[in-house]
Structure 1
Amino acid sequence: MKKIYILSAVLAAFSLQAQFTVTVQAPAEFKDKDAILYTLNGSKDIIVTKEQNKNNTWTFKYPSHYMGMMKVYFPDSNNAVSFISENKNISVKLDVQNNKIKDVAYLDEANDLMSRQQEGSQKKELILPALAQIKEYYKDNTDFGKALKIEIERLSGTNNTIDASKHPFISYYNTNYSKFLSNSTDPAKKVTPDDIVNFLDKSNDMLESSSLLRPVLVSYLNSGGNTNVAGSVDTLLDRLKVETPRGQTVLSELIDIFDAYDMEEFKTKYLTLAKNLKCTINDRLATTLKSNANVEMGATFPNVKFQSAANTSAKSLYDVKADKKIIVFWSSTCSHCESELPKLLEKYNELKAKNIQIVGLSLDTDKASYTQKIAAFPWINDSELRGWNSSYVDTYNVHATPTYFILDANNKIINKPDHVGNVLEYFKLK
């Protein structure tokens, strides 16, 4: 029994040591009360906890070891601030104007360093080419020419080496971003598909929390060209083993990539592979399977509880009674929506005469823009005004706007049109 007590004490001590705090400060005029802390798994934000404003400060206690990207999201105003964790206390101060985040001050060492490096990288990418052109017009022996030369040399510097023992996540991120995603034209730095497979196989857990996983996977698919996508994916999954947590996370990301790029053949193949797995499924893959199951042909479309719906007294989608319903996910800032929704508007009266109801669910963030746009649309419109942070995204597997579904009177999915032309063709109105 004594040994058990000793072990418990050691575990308790480790737990206390691993815990860190995230503190976000805001000016008194910032109106939000609630804030949500997220970690990252692949390309998916994972909710950790929700806290309320206390003296213009939100304090989150993270109970375990974590290195990677994090963010705090303010749902009332749709503001978000991103930062990194190196398993140490994090402190962020917000500058706010009209209840929108104007600037962020990172007060802890790791985030201050990461912020300065990101700013330097942006300057190097955007400003350095312009300075190089300007330099041709100024001699090195002039005051401006000398200053210009110094600035070019500073921005051109490659001394971004980080002590990995002091800043392990920043070192990991910089090293692998530079190697796999920097688009270097130097032949000596060109990576092969095998290099990427080895990285995805051997990398530590920071891969999933770094935000690098999806872009590296896209780079891997592009490196093999379009001739043998399935062969490249099979090679990768064979190495990773889809029964492992990493293999499942990569499989989930690939399914979402194929979905986003309308590569239906490959999405179907690897979604079927995921469905047929007999092992325990991790949370990341389970989310992808659930999102896809929600919107399969013949599935009952999950109900939508309306926030503040226009042109209806219904409280939810299921309260809307019609022989058929057209669901469209859209946004006022979406160029394709700008061209497609007016065509739906032209046929609205004919659809309504057939007892077909249109329900628009917007992924807008700006209330004024959304309100102005729906004034022209007589159908039911609603929005959470949270953009891609909306619950619609995961629930209905939305990867682009506009996205359409056609439901029968019992809210079963009977068609998934690609474009507005397919919608009108289905109802013989084209």
Structure 2
Amino acid sequence: MNRTLFLLIIILYLNCINYSQTIELDINNTNSKLASLFSLSGEKLTFVDSITTSKTGQFSFSNENLQTGFYRFSFDNHKSITFLNDGDDIEITADAENISESLQAINSEGNKLYYEFVKLNKDYKTKTELIQLILSRYPPNDDYYDLSKQKLNKLQYDYNQFVNITSQQEPMSFIARYIKSSQLPVISTDLPLEEQLDYLKKHSLDNVDFNDDELINSDCFTNKSIEYLTYFRNPQLPLGLLEKEFQKAVDTLLTKASVNIFVYQHVADYLVDGFKKFGFDNVVDYIIENYVVKDDLCLDEQTENSLQNRINQSKLLTIGKIAPNIILPDETGNEINLEEIKADKLLLIFYASWCPHCKDLLPEIHKLYKEKNNLEVVAISLDEKKEDWISFISENKLDWINLSDLKGWESKAGQDYYIYATPTMFLLDSELNIIGKPIDISELTLLLN
């Protein structure tokens, strides 16, 4: 090989291995010399590194181990800047007093597109919602109606132009794929208002690539999930019916996400965590039983730990399994053995006197109990004070089998049945096989009929 050519190859090789990506952030109006870097996945932040500087507000660092995706730079007591790491050098400037308006990417095309997309999304959503409101109120033959419709068409055209053309010059880049999947749905102005919600339920996820697991390192899938759930939210519905609506949305989201196991687990974890925070326990149970347990999904460790009893109950106490035996004292102190109770059907209900839902549900079950000759009820209280338990029995005239060891959540029966909330019901047959796990009086009535 020619000696000159050989030396040239060596120099090029050394230049490649010595190259280290640089990330610089220049922040005005801050006294901070210390910041933290977090990786972003959905709504979860994972600490990556601490960053210090000798010059106030001027941060520079390199990290060869950063994977492609979004990161959050945090400073000044929870002020933050989100940026995309796609392997290119990054230089970002901002004013700490008004980050969203001042944020600029100097030499990173990926971040330039990202910040432009964030701003465009916000403007597009605000303006289209206002124009849709006008179109819903004005008569179609009014000149202002036509003017508003033209304005909406122009907004949609400009939005589609950016999403489908401007941002797609390098279609395989992370930012191009992110924008393609994260775009807001665009509804034809010719579609009647009363048909738009149904259209959104059917088509708002059409552009999301659920098979692109690298997008887990962003807020794409979580943003699209919460957007999709809003189409099923109806504040006028009672809780039970609202949960049924959310279950429909969950089915669509998780069925689409199931094309990729990593995306599937990511979306399932987000939905479980979100519904748990907002108290939609029946939706959480629905996801665990129909997706997490059925497909053996691995949730985030923190989420899984907090839901372990739910998961165990769904896995181990399934329909057809024999219910664990229970030996507990009744209100007079006599020990009752579940295996010795003879009944065609037996309802186990775990409750507590302080539980609001229990106060509503148990009197309803008692009415049903009086109507059904072949039904026995064993009500197990998770109270810790005997006077509270006895008072509840007396006030509600509960003349069925009442049991408790007054150990609260530490009750052996509660632990054997992985009780994580009250009320919880199990319907058993004469052989103590589990034949149903009703969540309310209507489901119990259907099972008994």
TM-score under structure 1 length normalisation = 0.48
Highest relative contact order (Cα 8 Å, sep 6+), 1 or 2?
1
Greater C-alpha radius of gyration: 2
